[in-house]
Amino acid sequence: MKKSVLVVLMVLVLGSGVAFGQVTYRASANATATVYANIVPNISVSGPTVAVNLAGTGNGFAAGQEIPGNIQFTVHANSQEVDMQVVATDLYKGDDPTSTFRIPISSTGAQITCAAGSQLHGGSGLLPWQTTPPPGMIPASWTGAVSQIGTFTAGTNGTFSQAVTVGLSWKTSDFELPQGEYSGFVKLIAMVQ
């Protein structure tokens, strides 16, 4: 009997609309605060994880022949515009910069091709080599070239996130250049303001 009386009382109280712990406020006030966060510039560049065979699937090059190179990088930035610069070395026999056998850079600059963008101010994407490389850009005992800086845009994508191909070439006039592997490096530097 006690249980049924308790159940009946609970049904009456709950059904009456009386809520336990309900507080009635006599006055209230509020304020709104503006909040913000600054997103700092962010950029990353990735390149091939293995050495790039400039001959592609071919057997190689004859001494004195132009050696073209198209090296693909990927650039991700949280900006629509990115400044780019290229550093490239001559190719040395046995990857040894002290070797007297080398193949110098022959192109007039580095050709930048963006998958979904272009160089600003009507540029063709060609970044000419600087007359004298700035100190520290090319490692000691290596020779090579450093390009001028060019500004590239993401186009309609909003932020710069795309493949970037760097095109350049090497050539020697030494037709008695010893056979073997000649190597160096190509570096893409990307910057945001």
pLDDT computed for residue 114 by the predictor? 93
C-alpha closest to that of 63 among 181, 174, 182, 180: 174
Work out the percent of the chain whose per-residue pLDDT is above 70.
87
Q: Each residue of 72-85: pLDDT tens digit?
A: 999 999 999 999 99
Decide if pLDDT at 157 tops 70: no
Decide if pLDDT at 67 tops 80: yes
Q: Distances in Å between the alpha carbon of 37 and those of 21, 40, 64, 91? A: 39, 10, 57, 47
pTM over 0.75: yes
Q: Output DSSP code: residue 153.
A: E
- For residue 152, the surrounding DSSP H or E stretch is strand 150-153
**Ordered structural domains, the chain, with CATH:** 43-191 (2.60.40)
In this prediction, residues 50-54 reach a mean pLDDT of 82
